[in-house]
């Protein structure tokens, strides 16, 4: 039974870590794209909007996951505090 608990904890940590990494990656992409995407916005607005919307949708899905009961089952981390930290951290 001890091995099962350790395995569950490792899996739970990996799931939470993956969500945090994905959220950071989306934020970083949006931040860099806002800075450097002026030419693309001017020349290929539809492509720019599609890519931006894709990342924003992904972030919304991750936020929904972090606020879910499933997330609370996986970790003791406070969801609102985590999201606040993720939003405020400098990338």
pLDDT at site 1: 47
* Distance, CA of 65 to CA of 19 (rounded, Å): 8
Q: Band of the pLDDT at 32, cuts 50, 70, 90?
A: confident
Q: Inform me whether the pLDDT recorded for 71 exceeds 90.
A: yes
Q: CB–CB of 33/22 below 8 Å?
A: no
Q: How much is the average pLDDT of 28-51?
A: 79
pTM value is 0.84
In terms of pLDDT, which residue wins out, 69 or 6?
Answer: 69
| 52 closest CA partner among 15, 27, 77 | 27
pLDDT at site 55: 94
pLDDT at site 33: 81
**Domain ranges across the chain:** 2-88
């Amino acid at each position: 039974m001890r091995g099962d608990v350790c395995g569950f904890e490792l899996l739970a940590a990996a799931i939470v870590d993956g969500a945090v990494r994905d959220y950071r990656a989306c934020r970083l992409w949006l931040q860099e794209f806002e800075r450097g995407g002026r030419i693309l916005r001017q020349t290929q607005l539809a492509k720019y909007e599609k890519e931006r919307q894709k990342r924003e949708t992904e972030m919304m899905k991750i936020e929904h996951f972090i606020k879910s009961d499933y997330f609370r089952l996986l970790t003791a981390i406070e969801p609102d505090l985590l999201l606040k930290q993720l939003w405020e951290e400098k990338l």
